[in-house]
A and B are shown apart, each in its own frame.
Chain A
Amino acid sequence: MDWEAIRLSLRLAFSSALLLAPLGILLAWPLAYGCFKGRVLLEAVTSIPLVLPPTVLGFYLIVALGPRSPIGAAWESLTGARLVFSFQGLLLAQVITNMPFFLQPLVASLGGVDRRLLEVASTLGAGRAGVYFRVALPLAWRGLLSGLILSFAHAIGEFGVVLMVGGNLPGKTRTASIAIFDQVQSFDLAGASRTALLLLGFAFAVLACTSWLRARERA
């Protein structure tokens, strides 16, 4: 088994969850409770990665992060390294790709929080941020946890965007799902099946977790 690739996948998924959570928590707020004109647009933008082919997303990310883009150029002048085909670039791509998997369960849970609790909190002197962080978010913890698990799992499994933005550099951007692709290409079916089985088991455990959480929330 290609342990280096598995280690890299785990590292990538953990880091992206770590970055994604605070960002997603801030994004979920207007998505769940905002009443402004741009909400539909925000909703569409944050769910685009769900329906766009990974290659298309990957293509635009290369364009956006490449050395000639403002982001890529700024990164290069700051760190002296390129953003595309690097772990950092891959991480950024993962955060964007996996955001909807984090947001959807969280926004659904936030929407299910009893409105009166939010209203009571506001009469007790809590401002918008107070209502969100002291009442809504703690009560939507199951959605938060589901979102974390799902986005983590999806980060482990992502293939298309990773291949487009990261390429296939061992130890840097060659993740487990890309290793399987490589193994199949080189007719190492035994190796591919071991890695595949590991990912299958992982996916199953993740889905069991999230559906258990969802069932508890309804109860």
Chain B
Amino acid sequence: MKARFSKAFPSGPAIEAEFELALGSFGLTVLFGPSGCGKTTVLRCLAGLEQPDQGLIQAGGEVWFRPDRPPMPPARRGIGYVFQESALFPHLTVAGNIAFGLHGWPRAERRARVAELIQLMGLDEFAERRPVEVSGGQKQRVALARALAPRPRLVLLDEPFASLDRAAADQLRHNLRQILQTLGVPAILVTHDAQEALALGDRMLFMAEGRITRDGTPAEVLSATGDPARAQMGEVLRARVTGRVEGLLRLEVSGVPLFAPDPGGGFTEAYACIRGEGVSLEQGPHGHLSQRNRLPATIVEIEPLGALCRVRLDAGMPLEALITTWACADLGLEPGQTVHALIKASAIQVIPIEA
């Protein structure tokens, strides 16, 4: 799919989007950016629920949008759309909702497809219930099942976890990639949650003030953008799980071993997020070298921030420590110097990467 379009608004900045996306096989693209930057509008333009002013949207040899022609109606684009709030049809049962897009299918095939999705989503008990009778997490599962049932070429997910409580969101997030992968459907997920983007995305489009400014893997894009949510996460490092001991994970980040609290789940790949506040420095080789998360490091740069200073380190992996200016002077820190970085295990946040 190729999309290049713009849409102006009487208030706020215009939306400009340009990207390509492979259809036909699974891949999860995260459309990431702060609230109000126009992510939802991009999604709605792709779905045909809104029309751009200018540009071109093409998919598989079909033109979806061109300013000089009537746009292709949403019904014929072969997309699935999941809203922030599930937007289930209240007059239909769960099974009826899932079957909605299968209008015109032979009866037996329709039944089989509905049964398949109900099973895939773990909705067996709820098939004959009305939307008001199921929980928020289940509703969103039904909405996803409904969007996937007609075998769309592309699924558009507009912050599908935002209206859920944390437990339900975690559970659905955990299943989402697997489900899309099983069905082999590419998807675009809109989110402003950096952790969600890291956990789920293969690719990230970063959007700010109405424009897509960066395109790459989530970790790359996040590191490059200086997004405030990202800044709060500290250093985001790709890690491999090499063991689990006493409730701690043993991780390896570019060959450097780290211990961190285990959030649970059988994942083998993760991001370790290390905030500067959780890192302290000491000089010289004294202390127990066996101590966990004590890494020899070279000072790369010292950035004064008033009462604090940020010390950028190379410990075989990039790392930063946020320490008081007073401590910095006391230790006589200078770029090029070798120190030991102590990372509190509890200061490492682990984001499992969904397989």
- CB of B75 within 8 A of CB of A126, answer yes
A123 interface hit (Cβ, 8 Å) = yes
- CB of B87 within 8 A of CB of A124, answer no
Distance in angstroms between the alpha carbons of A130 and B101 in the assembled complex:
11
Distance in angstroms between the alpha carbons of A155 and B89 in the assembled complex:
34
Bits for B72-89, please: 1 = Cβ < 8 Å to A, else 0.
Answer: 011111011101010101
- Cβ distance A162 to chain B, nearest Cβ, rounded Å: 38
Stretch in A114-122, A170-178, A189-197, A200-208 with 4+ CB within 8 Å of B? A114-122
- Cβ distance A115 to chain B, nearest Cβ, rounded Å: 9
A25 interface hit (Cβ, 8 Å) = no
B146 interface hit (Cβ, 8 Å) = yes
Which residue, A120, A121, A135, has most C-beta atoms of chain B within 10 A? A120
Name the residue of chain A whose CB is nearest to the CB of B81: A123
Q: A114-B87, A125-B101, A130-B103 are in contact. Are A119 and B49 (CB under 8 A)?
A: yes
- CB of A139 within 8 A of CB of B90, answer yes
Chain A 16-32 interface residues, beta-carbon cutoff 8 Å to B: none
Distance in angstroms between the alpha carbons of A205 and B48 in the assembled complex:
46
Residues of B contacting A134 in the complex (Cβ-Cβ under 8 angstroms)? 100, 103
B69 interface hit (Cβ, 8 Å) = no
- CB of B146 within 8 A of CB of A124, answer yes
Residues of A contacting B91 in the complex (Cβ-Cβ under 8 angstroms)? 138-139
- CB of A124 within 8 A of CB of B83, answer no
Distance in angstroms between the alpha carbons of A123 and B73 in the assembled complex:
9
- Cβ distance A93 to chain B, nearest Cβ, rounded Å: 36
- Cβ distance B188 to chain A, nearest Cβ, rounded Å: 13
Which residue, B48, B74, B80, has most C-beta atoms of chain A within 10 A? B74
- CB of B103 within 8 A of CB of A117, answer no
- CB of A125 within 8 A of CB of B150, answer yes
A127 interface hit (Cβ, 8 Å) = yes
Residues of B contacting A126 in the complex (Cβ-Cβ under 8 angstroms)? 75, 100-101, 103
Residues of B contacting A125 in the complex (Cβ-Cβ under 8 angstroms)? 75-76, 101, 103, 150
Distance in angstroms between the alpha carbons of A129 and B47 in the assembled complex:
19
- Cβ distance B131 to chain A, nearest Cβ, rounded Å: 11
- Cβ distance B93 to chain A, nearest Cβ, rounded Å: 13
Residues of A contacting B83 in the complex (Cβ-Cβ under 8 angstroms)? 116, 120
Chain A 74-98 interface residues, beta-carbon cutoff 8 Å to B: none
Q: What count of chain A residues pass the 8 Å CB interface test?
A: 17
Which residue, A124, A125, A130, has most C-beta atoms of chain B within 10 A? A124
Distance in angstroms between the alpha carbons of A118 and B316 in the assembled complex:
54
Chain A 125-175 interface residues, beta-carbon cutoff 8 Å to B: 125-127, 130, 134-135, 138-139
- Cβ distance A114 to chain B, nearest Cβ, rounded Å: 7
Q: A117-B87, A139-B90, A139-B91 are in contact. Are A122 and B49 (CB under 8 A)?
A: yes
Chain B 116-160 interface residues, beta-carbon cutoff 8 Å to A: 146-147, 150
Name the residue of chain B whose CB is nearest to the CB of A124: B101
- CB of B75 within 8 A of CB of A123, answer yes
- Cβ distance A169 to chain B, nearest Cβ, rounded Å: 46
- CB of B73 within 8 A of CB of A121, answer no
Residues of A contacting B80 in the complex (Cβ-Cβ under 8 angstroms)? 123-124
Distance in angstroms between the alpha carbons of A114 and B85 in the assembled complex:
12
Partner of B75, one of A116, A127, A139: A127
- Cβ distance B3 to chain A, nearest Cβ, rounded Å: 17
Residues of A contacting B75 in the complex (Cβ-Cβ under 8 angstroms)? 122-127, 130
Name the residue of chain A whose CB is nearest to the CB of B47: A123
Residues of A contacting B48 in the complex (Cβ-Cβ under 8 angstroms)? 122-123
Distance in angstroms between the alpha carbons of A121 and B47 in the assembled complex:
12
- Cβ distance A50 to chain B, nearest Cβ, rounded Å: 31
Name the residue of chain B whose CB is nearest to the CB of A120: B87
- CB of B87 within 8 A of CB of A127, answer no
Residues of A contacting B89 in the complex (Cβ-Cβ under 8 angstroms)? 117, 120-121, 135, 139
Q: A114-B87, A139-B91 are in contact. Are A119 and B74 (CB under 8 A)?
A: yes
Residues of B contacting A114 in the complex (Cβ-Cβ under 8 angstroms)? 87
Residues of A contacting B74 in the complex (Cβ-Cβ under 8 angstroms)? 119, 122-123
- CB of A123 within 8 A of CB of B79, answer yes
Residues of A contacting B87 in the complex (Cβ-Cβ under 8 angstroms)? 114, 116-117, 119-120
Bits for B24-48, please: 1 = Cβ < 8 Å to A, else 0.
Answer: 0000000000000000000000011
- CB of A124 within 8 A of CB of B150, answer yes
Which residues in A have some Cβ–Cβ distance to B below 8 Å?
A: 114, 116-117, 119-127, 130, 134-135, 138-139
Shortest 7 CB-CB contacts between residues of A and residues of B: A124-B101, A123-B81, A122-B74, A116-B87, A138-B91, A123-B74, A125-B75
List 4 additional A-B contacts (Cβ < 8 Å) besides A123-B80, A139-B90: A120-B83, A122-B73, A135-B89, A138-B91
Of the A-B pairs whose beta carbons lie under 8 Å apart in the complex, a sample of 21, sorted by A's number, is: A116-B85, A117-B89, A119-B81, A120-B81, A120-B83, A120-B87, A120-B89, A122-B48, A123-B79, A123-B81, A123-B147, A124-B101, A125-B150, A126-B103, A127-B73, A127-B75, A135-B89, A138-B91, A139-B89, A139-B90, A139-B91
